[in-house]
């Protein structure tokens, strides 16, 4: 698989540079220095699985929404930042939190480059169709996409956890996971947190419908709401949010594992 080098650099909120070193699979990749190297053993970063400290069986794909020539939502309340930067900062924290809990993780991109798939259309935008095409080449168990929301009315606020309950993605695998994530976000951020779960049976989120594994799309808040915007550019809040998502995923899988053991 080839890698599309980012044309216009997007500064990360929290990480200045994420160096690309190697990638599992066949072929070559473009690293941060612009030098081509052969793919080697999996490493941390886009398309590379991080080795967990205490291995869990599940592999989680984390998708930071937008990026590259697509900044996503914008608002002066973000203090010069854009949605793509917020998404990436939180996704990188979520990656750390999940690996710390023993999961293997794969990022769809690291803000510097993205994988070229059969859906690539020769531009510097990483479209949802390209993201899901990439995810479908991976041996993953869950797909989680991080986004921000916006609305004309500034008083509209809150976190939204979306899932799609399709023929393969049953209530057990998608709905219960989404609820677990929602519950743990509230537990991590504190009671009174405005966070709700939505089944996208008639929704328009391509990444939920086109992935064959269970998936969630999480809107971390509204960039048009003063409180939400202040939260999403606060590194302490970002970390608490990432902890909540990671705990939700972890508790779901560990409870499922315990239930399976009790049945045998």
- pLDDT of 255 strictly over 80: yes
Find tokens 């900044």 and name the residue.
71
- Tokens 């886009």 sit on residue: 46
Q: What is the pLDDT of residues 121-154, one digit of tens each?
A: 889 999 999 999 999 999 999 999 999 999 999 9
State percent of the chain over pLDDT 90: 56
Q: What angle do CA 157, 159, 165 make, to 5 degrees?
A: 130
Contact by Cβ (8 Å): 136, 197: no
Residue 21 has pLDDT above 60, yes or no: no
CA 210 vs CA 122, 131, 135, 161, 190: distances in Å:
21, 10, 9, 17, 33
For the whole model, what pTM was predicted?
A: 0.78
Residues 6+ apart with CB under 8 A from 264: none
Give the pLDDT confidence score for residue 198 in this predicted structure: 85
3, two tokens: 């890698």
Residue range 184-195, pLDDT digits in tens: 999 999 988 888
CA atoms 205, 219, 90, 172: torsion sign: negative
Q: How confident is the model at residue 52 (pLDDT cuts 50, 70, 90)?
A: very low
Mean pLDDT score, 237-258 = 93
Asked if residues 225 and 154 have their Cβ atoms less than 8 Å apart, the reply is: yes
Mean confidence (pLDDT) of the chain:
79
The answer to whether the CB of 224 falls within 8 A of the CB of 76 is: no
Domains of the chain: 3-263 (3.40.630.40)
Q: What is the pLDDT of residue 103?
A: 96
pLDDT of residue 164: 83
- The tokens describing 209, both together, are 């419908």
Q: Which two tokens stand for residue 11?
A: 């500064």
pLDDT tens, residue by residue, 73-105: 989 999 999 999 999 999 999 999 999 999 999
């Amino acid at each position: 698989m080839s890698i599309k080098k980012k044309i216009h650099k997007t500064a990360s909120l929290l990480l200045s540079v994420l160096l690309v070193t190697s990638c599992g699979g066949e072929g070559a990749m473009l690293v941060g220095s612009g030098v081509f190297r052969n793919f080697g053993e999996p490493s941390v970063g886009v398309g590379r699985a991080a080795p967990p400290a205490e291995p869990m069986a599940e592999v989680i794909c984390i998708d930071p929404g937008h990026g590259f020539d697509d900044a996503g939502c914008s608002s002066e309340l973000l203090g010069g930042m854009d949605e793509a930067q917020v998404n990436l900062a939180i996704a990188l924290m979520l990656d750390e939190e999940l690996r710390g809990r023993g999961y293997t993780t794969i990022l769809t991109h690291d803000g510097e480059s993205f994988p070229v798939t059969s859906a690539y259309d020769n531009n510097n935008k990483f479209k949802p169709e390209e993201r899901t095409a990439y995810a479908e080449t991976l041996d993953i168990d869950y797909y989680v996409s991080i986004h921000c929301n916006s609305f004309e009315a500034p008083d509209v606020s809150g976190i939204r956890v979306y899932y799609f309950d399709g023929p393969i993605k049953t209530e057990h695998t998608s709905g219960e996971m989404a609820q677990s994530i929602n519950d743990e976000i509230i537990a991590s951020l504190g009671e009174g947190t405005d966070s709700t779960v939505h089944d996208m049976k008639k929704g328009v989120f391509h990444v939920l419908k086109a992935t064959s594994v269970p998936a969630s799309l999480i809107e971390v808040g509204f960039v048009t709401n003063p409180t939400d915007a202040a939260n999403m550019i606060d590194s302490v809040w970002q970390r608490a949010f990432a902890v909540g998502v990671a705990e939700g995923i972890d508790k779901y899988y560990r409870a499922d594992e315990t239930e399976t053991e009790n049945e045998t």
